[in-house]
Copies of this chain bind each other. A is one copy, B any other.
Amino acid sequence: MMENFIYQRTTELIFGKDQIVLVGEKASAFGRKILLVSYGGAFNENVYYKQVVSSLKAAGLTVYELGEIKPNPDISKVREGIGICREKGIDLVLGVGGGSVIDTCKTIALGYYLQEDPWEIFTSGKMPEQALPIGVVVTLAATGSEMNASAVITNAQTEQKLSFRSQLVVPKFSILDPRLTFTVPKEHTVYGIVDIAAHVYEQYFDQVPDTPIQDRMAESVLQTLIEESDKVIADPQDYGARANIMLASTLGFNGILGIGKATDWASHKIQHELGAIYDIPHGGGLAIIFPNWMKYVCEAGLGKFVQYATRVFKVDPTGKSEKEIALEGIERTRAWFNSMGAPSRLADYSIGEEHLELMAEKATKNGPLGNFKKLYKEDVLAILRMSL
Protein backbone atom coordinates (compact mmCIF):
# COMPACT_ATOMS: atom_id res chain seq x y z
CA MET A 1 0.00 0.00 0.00
CA MET A 2 1.09 3.55 -0.57
CA GLU A 3 3.22 5.36 2.00
CA ASN A 4 2.09 8.40 3.95
CA PHE A 5 2.93 11.67 2.24
CA ILE A 6 2.57 15.41 2.47
CA TYR A 7 2.25 17.18 -0.87
CA GLN A 8 1.92 20.86 -1.70
CA ARG A 9 2.80 22.76 -4.87
CA THR A 10 1.65 26.33 -4.70
CA THR A 11 2.95 27.46 -8.11
CA GLU A 12 0.51 29.33 -10.31
CA LEU A 13 0.85 27.74 -13.75
CA ILE A 14 0.08 30.14 -16.56
CA PHE A 15 0.01 28.11 -19.75
CA GLY A 16 -0.45 28.92 -23.40
CA LYS A 17 -0.05 31.29 -26.29
CA ASP A 18 0.63 34.93 -25.43
CA GLN A 19 0.44 34.33 -21.68
CA ILE A 20 3.87 35.92 -21.50
CA VAL A 21 2.22 39.35 -21.53
CA LEU A 22 1.04 38.65 -17.99
CA VAL A 23 4.57 38.63 -16.58
CA GLY A 24 4.61 42.30 -15.56
CA GLU A 25 1.32 42.02 -13.69
CA LYS A 26 2.32 38.77 -11.98
CA ALA A 27 5.77 40.05 -11.02
CA SER A 28 4.45 43.30 -9.62
CA ALA A 29 2.55 41.41 -6.92
CA PHE A 30 5.94 40.78 -5.29
CA GLY A 31 7.54 44.22 -5.36
CA ARG A 32 9.20 46.75 -7.62
CA LYS A 33 12.75 45.51 -8.17
CA ILE A 34 13.32 42.47 -10.34
CA LEU A 35 16.48 40.48 -10.92
CA LEU A 36 16.04 39.09 -14.43
CA VAL A 37 18.18 35.99 -14.87
CA SER A 38 18.82 34.57 -18.31
CA TYR A 39 21.30 33.32 -20.89
CA GLY A 40 22.35 36.72 -22.16
CA GLY A 41 23.96 37.32 -25.55
CA ALA A 42 21.88 36.51 -28.63
CA PHE A 43 19.14 34.99 -26.48
CA ASN A 44 18.33 38.37 -25.01
CA GLU A 45 17.76 39.69 -28.53
CA ASN A 46 14.87 37.31 -29.18
CA VAL A 47 11.38 38.64 -29.39
CA TYR A 48 10.10 36.83 -26.31
CA TYR A 49 12.86 38.06 -24.04
CA LYS A 50 12.11 41.57 -25.25
CA GLN A 51 8.41 41.03 -24.55
CA VAL A 52 9.24 40.02 -20.99
CA VAL A 53 11.34 43.14 -20.47
CA SER A 54 8.66 45.42 -21.93
CA SER A 55 5.92 43.80 -19.87
CA LEU A 56 7.97 44.35 -16.71
CA LYS A 57 8.74 47.94 -17.63
CA ALA A 58 5.13 48.63 -18.57
CA ALA A 59 4.20 47.49 -15.07
CA GLY A 60 6.56 50.13 -13.71
CA LEU A 61 9.16 47.66 -12.45
CA THR A 62 12.89 48.23 -12.26
CA VAL A 63 14.86 45.47 -13.95
CA TYR A 64 18.41 44.37 -13.15
CA GLU A 65 19.87 41.71 -15.41
CA LEU A 66 22.07 38.71 -14.70
CA GLY A 67 23.09 37.04 -17.95
CA GLU A 68 25.42 34.38 -19.26
CA ILE A 69 23.89 31.47 -17.43
CA LYS A 70 25.32 28.34 -19.05
CA PRO A 71 24.22 24.68 -19.11
CA ASN A 72 25.52 22.98 -15.95
CA PRO A 73 25.26 26.42 -14.32
CA ASP A 74 28.08 27.38 -12.01
CA ILE A 75 27.92 28.54 -8.41
CA SER A 76 29.93 31.62 -9.40
CA LYS A 77 26.87 33.06 -11.18
CA VAL A 78 24.82 32.43 -8.06
CA ARG A 79 27.29 34.46 -6.03
CA GLU A 80 27.09 37.24 -8.60
CA GLY A 81 23.27 37.17 -8.45
CA ILE A 82 23.18 37.30 -4.66
CA GLY A 83 25.53 40.29 -4.81
CA ILE A 84 23.11 42.16 -7.08
CA CYS A 85 20.11 41.24 -4.91
CA ARG A 86 21.79 42.59 -1.81
CA GLU A 87 23.12 45.72 -3.44
CA LYS A 88 19.86 46.64 -5.18
CA GLY A 89 17.30 45.31 -2.68
CA ILE A 90 15.68 42.90 -5.14
CA ASP A 91 12.05 41.83 -4.49
CA LEU A 92 11.66 39.01 -7.02
CA VAL A 93 14.08 36.77 -8.86
CA LEU A 94 12.68 36.14 -12.33
CA GLY A 95 14.19 33.52 -14.61
CA VAL A 96 13.68 33.39 -18.36
CA GLY A 97 15.08 30.08 -19.50
CA GLY A 98 15.26 26.36 -18.78
CA GLY A 99 16.51 24.43 -15.80
CA SER A 100 19.93 26.07 -15.69
CA VAL A 101 18.40 29.50 -15.35
CA ILE A 102 15.65 28.42 -12.96
CA ASP A 103 18.04 26.52 -10.71
CA THR A 104 20.35 29.52 -10.62
CA CYS A 105 17.36 31.65 -9.57
CA LYS A 106 16.44 29.18 -6.84
CA THR A 107 19.91 29.16 -5.39
CA ILE A 108 20.16 32.93 -5.51
CA ALA A 109 16.76 33.27 -3.83
CA LEU A 110 17.73 30.99 -0.99
CA GLY A 111 21.39 31.97 -0.74
CA TYR A 112 20.34 35.60 -0.34
CA TYR A 113 19.32 34.78 3.23
CA LEU A 114 22.45 32.78 4.05
CA GLN A 115 25.40 34.48 5.70
CA GLU A 116 27.81 31.84 4.44
CA ASP A 117 28.77 31.15 0.85
CA PRO A 118 25.80 29.67 -1.11
CA TRP A 119 27.78 26.50 -1.91
CA GLU A 120 27.23 25.61 1.76
CA ILE A 121 23.57 24.92 0.89
CA PHE A 122 24.77 21.97 -1.17
CA THR A 123 27.64 20.73 0.94
CA SER A 124 26.60 21.28 4.54
CA GLY A 125 22.82 21.41 4.06
CA LYS A 126 22.65 24.88 5.66
CA MET A 127 19.13 26.10 4.97
CA PRO A 128 17.92 29.64 5.61
CA GLU A 129 14.33 29.92 6.81
CA GLN A 130 13.19 32.07 3.95
CA ALA A 131 13.89 32.79 0.31
CA LEU A 132 13.18 35.59 -2.11
CA PRO A 133 10.11 34.85 -4.26
CA ILE A 134 10.81 33.37 -7.68
CA GLY A 135 8.96 33.73 -10.99
CA VAL A 136 9.71 31.83 -14.17
CA VAL A 137 9.20 32.14 -17.92
CA VAL A 138 10.04 28.72 -19.32
CA THR A 139 11.93 28.41 -22.63
CA LEU A 140 12.87 24.73 -22.55
CA ALA A 141 10.83 21.63 -21.68
CA ALA A 142 13.13 19.43 -19.67
CA THR A 143 13.77 19.85 -15.98
CA GLY A 144 10.34 20.52 -14.52
CA SER A 145 12.11 23.01 -12.28
CA GLU A 146 9.27 25.49 -12.91
CA MET A 147 6.99 23.65 -10.47
CA ASN A 148 9.28 21.87 -8.08
CA ALA A 149 11.48 22.34 -5.04
CA SER A 150 14.79 21.11 -6.49
CA ALA A 151 17.86 22.79 -7.93
CA VAL A 152 21.12 21.45 -9.32
CA ILE A 153 24.26 23.56 -9.46
CA THR A 154 27.80 22.82 -10.57
CA ASN A 155 30.99 23.92 -8.90
CA ALA A 156 33.59 23.83 -11.65
CA GLN A 157 36.39 24.53 -9.17
CA THR A 158 35.66 21.47 -7.04
CA GLU A 159 34.31 19.35 -9.94
CA GLN A 160 31.04 18.79 -8.09
CA LYS A 161 27.45 18.87 -9.35
CA LEU A 162 25.06 18.83 -6.41
CA SER A 163 21.40 19.38 -5.69
CA PHE A 164 19.18 20.63 -2.88
CA ARG A 165 15.47 20.59 -2.18
CA SER A 166 13.48 23.25 -0.36
CA GLN A 167 9.80 24.15 -0.47
CA LEU A 168 10.95 27.75 -0.13
CA VAL A 169 12.17 27.86 -3.73
CA VAL A 170 9.07 26.47 -5.44
CA PRO A 171 8.31 29.22 -7.99
CA LYS A 172 5.39 31.51 -7.16
CA PHE A 173 4.35 31.58 -10.79
CA SER A 174 5.54 29.96 -13.98
CA ILE A 175 4.58 31.09 -17.43
CA LEU A 176 4.66 28.36 -20.08
CA ASP A 177 4.13 29.41 -23.67
CA PRO A 178 4.92 26.43 -25.91
CA ARG A 179 5.97 28.76 -28.74
CA LEU A 180 9.03 29.80 -26.75
CA THR A 181 10.35 26.28 -27.38
CA PHE A 182 9.83 26.36 -31.18
CA THR A 183 13.42 27.41 -31.76
CA VAL A 184 15.08 24.95 -29.37
CA PRO A 185 17.52 22.99 -31.58
CA LYS A 186 16.66 19.37 -32.23
CA GLU A 187 19.39 17.95 -30.04
CA HIS A 188 18.34 19.98 -27.01
CA THR A 189 14.69 19.13 -27.63
CA VAL A 190 15.70 15.48 -27.53
CA TYR A 191 17.81 15.88 -24.39
CA GLY A 192 14.84 17.58 -22.78
CA ILE A 193 12.55 14.67 -23.66
CA VAL A 194 15.05 12.20 -22.21
CA ASP A 195 15.32 14.28 -19.04
CA ILE A 196 11.53 14.35 -18.65
CA ALA A 197 11.31 10.58 -19.17
CA ALA A 198 14.10 10.08 -16.63
CA HIS A 199 12.21 12.06 -13.98
CA VAL A 200 9.16 9.91 -14.60
CA TYR A 201 11.19 6.70 -14.41
CA GLU A 202 12.73 7.77 -11.14
CA GLN A 203 9.29 8.07 -9.57
CA TYR A 204 7.80 5.10 -11.42
CA PHE A 205 10.34 2.39 -10.64
CA ASP A 206 9.95 1.82 -6.94
CA GLN A 207 9.20 -1.04 -4.61
CA VAL A 208 6.07 0.32 -2.91
CA PRO A 209 3.19 -1.92 -3.99
CA ASP A 210 -0.33 -0.86 -4.92
CA THR A 211 0.04 2.67 -6.26
CA PRO A 212 -2.12 2.27 -9.36
CA ILE A 213 -3.02 5.92 -9.92
CA GLN A 214 0.54 7.15 -9.62
CA ASP A 215 1.79 4.36 -11.90
CA ARG A 216 -0.82 4.98 -14.56
CA MET A 217 -0.34 8.73 -14.47
CA ALA A 218 3.39 8.17 -14.97
CA GLU A 219 2.63 5.90 -17.92
CA SER A 220 0.33 8.64 -19.25
CA VAL A 221 3.24 11.05 -19.39
CA LEU A 222 5.58 8.48 -20.94
CA GLN A 223 3.15 7.36 -23.64
CA THR A 224 2.49 10.95 -24.54
CA LEU A 225 6.20 11.75 -24.70
CA ILE A 226 6.82 8.82 -27.04
CA GLU A 227 4.00 9.90 -29.37
CA GLU A 228 4.84 13.58 -29.32
CA SER A 229 8.60 13.16 -29.77
CA ASP A 230 8.08 11.94 -33.34
CA LYS A 231 5.85 14.90 -34.10
CA VAL A 232 8.15 17.54 -32.69
CA ILE A 233 11.17 16.14 -34.50
CA ALA A 234 9.18 16.16 -37.75
CA ASP A 235 7.96 19.72 -37.16
CA PRO A 236 9.64 21.82 -34.45
CA GLN A 237 6.84 24.38 -34.77
CA ASP A 238 4.02 21.92 -34.06
CA TYR A 239 2.25 23.83 -31.29
CA GLY A 240 0.30 20.82 -30.06
CA ALA A 241 3.40 18.64 -29.75
CA ARG A 242 5.40 21.40 -28.04
CA ALA A 243 2.47 22.04 -25.67
CA ASN A 244 2.09 18.40 -24.74
CA ILE A 245 5.83 18.00 -24.15
CA MET A 246 5.92 21.17 -22.07
CA LEU A 247 3.06 19.92 -19.91
CA ALA A 248 4.76 16.52 -19.64
CA SER A 249 7.85 18.28 -18.32
CA THR A 250 5.94 20.17 -15.63
CA LEU A 251 3.66 17.34 -14.52
CA GLY A 252 6.44 14.78 -14.86
CA PHE A 253 8.45 16.37 -12.10
CA ASN A 254 6.16 18.44 -9.91
CA GLY A 255 6.15 15.56 -7.45
CA ILE A 256 2.61 14.31 -8.03
CA LEU A 257 3.82 11.12 -9.74
CA GLY A 258 5.89 10.26 -6.69
CA ILE A 259 3.36 10.76 -3.89
CA GLY A 260 3.22 7.81 -1.53
CA LYS A 261 6.16 6.14 -3.28
CA ALA A 262 9.82 5.54 -2.44
CA THR A 263 11.34 7.25 -5.45
CA ASP A 264 14.79 6.40 -6.78
CA TRP A 265 17.10 9.10 -8.12
CA ALA A 266 20.20 6.96 -8.57
CA SER A 267 20.49 7.51 -12.33
CA HIS A 268 20.33 11.27 -11.94
CA LYS A 269 23.04 11.11 -9.26
CA ILE A 270 25.28 9.04 -11.51
CA GLN A 271 24.67 11.46 -14.37
CA HIS A 272 25.57 14.37 -12.10
CA GLU A 273 28.96 12.79 -11.49
CA LEU A 274 29.46 12.57 -15.22
CA GLY A 275 28.32 16.15 -15.63
CA ALA A 276 30.63 17.39 -12.91
CA ILE A 277 33.72 16.09 -14.70
CA TYR A 278 32.66 16.19 -18.32
CA ASP A 279 30.63 19.13 -19.55
CA ILE A 280 28.19 16.90 -21.46
CA PRO A 281 24.48 17.63 -21.93
CA HIS A 282 22.47 16.36 -18.98
CA GLY A 283 19.89 14.59 -21.16
CA GLY A 284 22.65 13.02 -23.22
CA GLY A 285 24.21 11.50 -20.13
CA LEU A 286 20.84 10.22 -18.94
CA ALA A 287 20.12 8.58 -22.30
CA ILE A 288 23.31 6.58 -21.87
CA ILE A 289 22.95 5.73 -18.17
CA PHE A 290 19.24 4.98 -17.83
CA PRO A 291 18.80 1.86 -19.96
CA ASN A 292 21.88 0.38 -18.28
CA TRP A 293 20.52 1.22 -14.84
CA MET A 294 17.27 -0.51 -15.84
CA LYS A 295 19.11 -3.62 -17.02
CA TYR A 296 21.22 -3.71 -13.88
CA VAL A 297 18.34 -3.37 -11.39
CA CYS A 298 15.37 -4.98 -13.13
CA GLU A 299 15.62 -8.34 -11.39
CA ALA A 300 15.01 -6.60 -8.09
CA GLY A 301 11.40 -6.04 -9.20
CA LEU A 302 10.51 -7.63 -12.51
CA GLY A 303 6.79 -7.03 -12.04
CA LYS A 304 7.18 -3.28 -12.39
CA PHE A 305 9.33 -3.68 -15.49
CA VAL A 306 6.78 -6.05 -17.03
CA GLN A 307 4.07 -3.47 -16.35
CA TYR A 308 6.25 -0.81 -17.99
CA ALA A 309 6.98 -2.92 -21.06
CA THR A 310 3.42 -4.06 -21.63
CA ARG A 311 1.63 -0.80 -20.86
CA VAL A 312 4.00 1.83 -22.23
CA PHE A 313 5.48 -0.03 -25.22
CA LYS A 314 2.66 -2.58 -25.66
CA VAL A 315 5.20 -5.40 -25.59
CA ASP A 316 3.35 -8.64 -26.31
CA PRO A 317 3.94 -10.90 -23.30
CA THR A 318 2.76 -14.11 -24.98
CA GLY A 319 5.12 -17.00 -24.38
CA LYS A 320 7.82 -14.86 -22.75
CA SER A 321 9.31 -15.00 -19.27
CA GLU A 322 9.02 -11.95 -17.01
CA LYS A 323 12.71 -11.27 -17.54
CA GLU A 324 12.32 -11.42 -21.32
CA ILE A 325 9.38 -9.02 -21.25
CA ALA A 326 11.28 -6.66 -18.97
CA LEU A 327 14.37 -6.71 -21.19
CA GLU A 328 12.25 -6.08 -24.25
CA GLY A 329 10.82 -2.98 -22.57
CA ILE A 330 14.32 -1.81 -21.72
CA GLU A 331 15.51 -2.37 -25.28
CA ARG A 332 12.51 -0.43 -26.55
CA THR A 333 13.51 2.41 -24.23
CA ARG A 334 17.03 2.49 -25.64
CA ALA A 335 15.66 2.22 -29.18
CA TRP A 336 13.33 5.15 -28.53
CA PHE A 337 16.20 7.31 -27.25
CA ASN A 338 18.36 6.27 -30.23
CA SER A 339 15.58 6.91 -32.73
CA MET A 340 15.56 10.52 -31.57
CA GLY A 341 19.33 10.77 -32.04
CA ALA A 342 20.33 10.60 -28.38
CA PRO A 343 23.69 8.97 -27.66
CA SER A 344 23.86 5.44 -26.27
CA ARG A 345 27.47 5.08 -25.16
CA LEU A 346 29.95 7.17 -23.21
CA ALA A 347 32.25 6.69 -26.19
CA ASP A 348 29.90 8.98 -28.12
CA TYR A 349 31.30 11.75 -25.89
CA SER A 350 34.84 10.31 -26.09
CA ILE A 351 34.61 9.33 -22.44
CA GLY A 352 36.72 6.31 -21.54
CA GLU A 353 37.58 4.41 -18.38
CA GLU A 354 39.81 7.10 -16.85
CA HIS A 355 37.48 8.52 -14.22
CA LEU A 356 34.83 5.80 -13.80
CA GLU A 357 36.26 4.68 -10.48
CA LEU A 358 36.39 8.24 -9.17
CA MET A 359 32.80 8.91 -10.26
CA ALA A 360 31.52 5.72 -8.61
CA GLU A 361 33.43 6.69 -5.47
CA LYS A 362 32.01 10.23 -5.41
CA ALA A 363 28.45 9.13 -6.23
CA THR A 364 28.32 6.82 -3.22
CA LYS A 365 30.44 8.68 -0.72
CA ASN A 366 27.37 9.55 1.40
CA GLY A 367 26.04 6.00 1.23
CA PRO A 368 24.40 3.77 -1.36
CA LEU A 369 22.20 5.30 -4.07
CA GLY A 370 18.58 4.58 -4.82
CA ASN A 371 15.66 2.58 -3.49
CA PHE A 372 14.57 0.18 -6.19
CA LYS A 373 17.87 -1.54 -5.56
CA LYS A 374 20.52 -0.03 -3.32
CA LEU A 375 23.61 0.73 -5.37
CA TYR A 376 27.05 0.63 -3.77
CA LYS A 377 30.25 1.81 -5.35
CA GLU A 378 30.81 -1.46 -7.25
CA ASP A 379 27.22 -1.33 -8.59
CA VAL A 380 27.63 2.21 -9.86
CA LEU A 381 30.94 1.24 -11.40
CA ALA A 382 29.29 -1.73 -13.12
CA ILE A 383 26.58 0.54 -14.60
CA LEU A 384 29.22 3.00 -15.79
CA ARG A 385 31.23 0.15 -17.37
CA MET A 386 28.08 -1.10 -19.14
CA SER A 387 27.79 2.44 -20.53
CA LEU A 388 31.28 2.68 -22.03
Question: Which residues in A have some Cβ–Cβ distance to B below 8 Å?
Answer: 1-19, 210-213, 216-217, 219-221, 223-224, 227-228, 239-240, 243-244, 247-248, 251, 256, 259-260
Contacts and interface: CB of A to CB of B under 8 A. Distances in A.
A243 B210 CA distance: 10
A267 B79 CA distance: 56
Contacts of A227: 212
Contacts of A248: 213
Contact of A239 (B1, B9, B17): B1
B12 A5 contact: no
9 closest residue pairs by CB, A with B = A4-B16, A216-B220, A8-B12, A1-B240, A10-B10, A210-B240, A212-B224, A7-B13, A213-B224
Contacts of A9: 9
B8 A16 contact: no
B8 A213 contact: no
Given A217-B217, A244-B212, A5 B16 contact: yes
Contact of A6 (B2, B10, B13, B239): B13
A212 B260 CA distance: 24
B10 A244 contact: no
A102 to B, nearest CB: 18
Contacts of A14: 6
A110 B239 CA distance: 40
Given A8-B12, A15-B259, A15-B260, A251 B213 contact: yes
A328 to B, nearest CB: 22
Given A2-B16, A6-B14, A10-B10, 17 more contacts: A4-B16, A4-B19, A5-B13, A6-B15, A7-B13, A8-B10, A210-B240, A210-B243, A212-B220, A212-B228, A212-B244, A213-B244, A213-B248, A216-B223, A217-B217, A217-B220, A247-B259
A212 B229 CA distance: 13
A15 B7 contact: yes
A46 to B, nearest CB: 21
A213 to B, nearest CB: 5
B4 A13 contact: no
Contacts of A15: 2, 4-7, 259-260
Contacts of A3: 16
27 contacts: A1-B240, A1-B243, A2-B16, A2-B244, A4-B15, A4-B18, A5-B15, A6-B13, A6-B14, A6-B15, A7-B12, A10-B10, A13-B259, A15-B260, A16-B260, A210-B240, A210-B243, A212-B220, A212-B224, A212-B227, A212-B244, A213-B248, A216-B216, A216-B220, A216-B224, A217-B217, A247-B259
A212 B225 CA distance: 10
Nearest to A1: B240
Q: Among A11, A12, A14, A220, which residue has the most Cβ atoms of chain B within 10 A?
A: A220
Contacts of A239: 1
A210 to B, nearest CB: 4
Contacts of A211: 244
Contact of A8 (B13, B223, B260): B13
Nearest to A26: B6
Contacts of A251: 213, 256
Contacts of A219: 216, 220
A363 to B, nearest CB: 31
Contacts of A4: 15-19
A141 to B, nearest CB: 12
B210 A244 contact: yes
A107 to B, nearest CB: 24
Contacts of A213: 220-221, 224, 244, 247-248, 251
